[in-house]
Chains A and B, each alone.
Chain A
């Protein structure tokens, strides 16, 4: 069985397991929907007071918000294993068993669970649809490809951040939630167009944790506006590639951590 078929097998088991509790599935999805929907209500309330943020309208911000939240939600579902890697695998010693199997560790951790959560995704799609229809965005095939490409880059980036968070567990299993600053905190920052931020913070979000490359530049291209930061128009649609680069680097670092791993014993 090749790796991909094995992964599909893992996914099947995970999905069947979660559907054993259909009511729990519904409640958790509904609560995620409402829990994430309050954010856009807060943003809308601020626009109700101020009208705009550095010239951007609520509808435009809704498009940024929709794209970054969709990417985060899509990345969050399959990477549960990396998220809980410290407490579930390293602390318990369960990781030793993974090392004994003739498959890569990354594949096995990825197969830990495909979390069926559609609340945030649905919420983000509604907000995106609101923004796109209010702006009367024309969706040519090129736009659809650009959107899919930006989302793919975003999923790769957030996946990479979670792999890095899991890699930290090879050194410490304490207080790993600090890494949420990068994943969830990055999503929050990416909900607004980057040119509203102070320069140092903007640079952080472009060059260090490149949320801007998957959620800002391609969306500016989608909106058809010239970039207020002055990036040339030909560059804007190319930037999501940085997300894949980030993921590749993260997997390299994962390999380094793996080489250093010593079991806690059991």
Chain B
């Protein structure tokens, strides 16, 4: 029953993995961005570090992780789906003997994972291994202090991938309904950048907002796994945060399913 979904998952994963130049370019850009953010944070901490809600080392690690996993943010509608919507080929999706949501979900998951793996690998090698070796360890990515932290991080980052794909499918449905990917693309990125912790760690927002920031779904894309990495969430705290990630994944998956069914049920393709 799962075979077609696993097939598209692995096919798309291998296909997207071939774009090596894109991965290198993305990595170079993320190094620049990460480096700049670290320099800015370092200047802020130099003046009044005692006021910060996180230690400098944790903020630096958080920043590099944010660059490594930048593509967990639902930046765009899946470009293949956007193309299908533009050309009308989206109608073929109705002919397949598979569940449309599941099909798009598997594609989205593979697309996200295949772009993340080389970028994150390069980023880890640079920020966690190379930088300490050349004496820049203070500015680099610190590893989790114990094995259980690392294990929790692996689970949390997988949950983030599942959550991210469920968001991408909702964007796909919006694109299919509005016949263009422009609207969805314009709205999704700024919201995700602010609320995931990609712009600044969520702890730096005013205290009154903290409970909301921790509970909203975008926190599961970055803030949750990164706090697990830093050891700010351990044991029961980590389990609870991961459960919240999975709960949001389920809610957004059900929402996305309803949306895809609604859109696909009344899809019209002009002849030509």
Contacts and interface: CB of A to CB of B under 8 A. Distances in A.
Interface of A: 24, 27-28, 31, 34-35, 38-39, 41-42, 45-46, 48-55, 174-175, 177-178, 180-181, 185, 188-189, 192, 196-198, 201
Contact of A49 (B29, B193, B199, B204): B204
The interface residues of chain A, by DSSP majority, are classed as helix
B194 A28 contact: no
Contacts of B48: 50-52
Contact of B36 (A28, A41, A42, A189): A189
Contacts of A39: 199
B187 A31 contact: yes
Contact of B39 (A49, A181, A201): A201
Interface residues of B, number: 35
A49 B53 contact: yes
Nearest to A185: B32
Contacts of A34: 190
Contacts, number: 89
Given A196-B39, A201-B39, A54 B186 contact: no
Interface string B162-200: 000000000000000000001100110110011000011
Contacts of A54: 43, 46-47
Contacts of A28: 182, 186
Contacts of B21: 174-175
A190 B204 CA distance: 22
A28 B183 CA distance: 8
A90 B206 CA distance: 49
A14 to B, nearest CB: 19
24 contacts: A27-B182, A27-B183, A27-B186, A35-B186, A35-B190, A41-B194, A45-B205, A46-B44, A50-B47, A50-B48, A51-B48, A52-B47, A53-B40, A53-B43, A54-B46, A174-B21, A175-B24, A178-B28, A185-B32, A185-B33, A188-B33, A189-B36, A197-B39, A198-B42
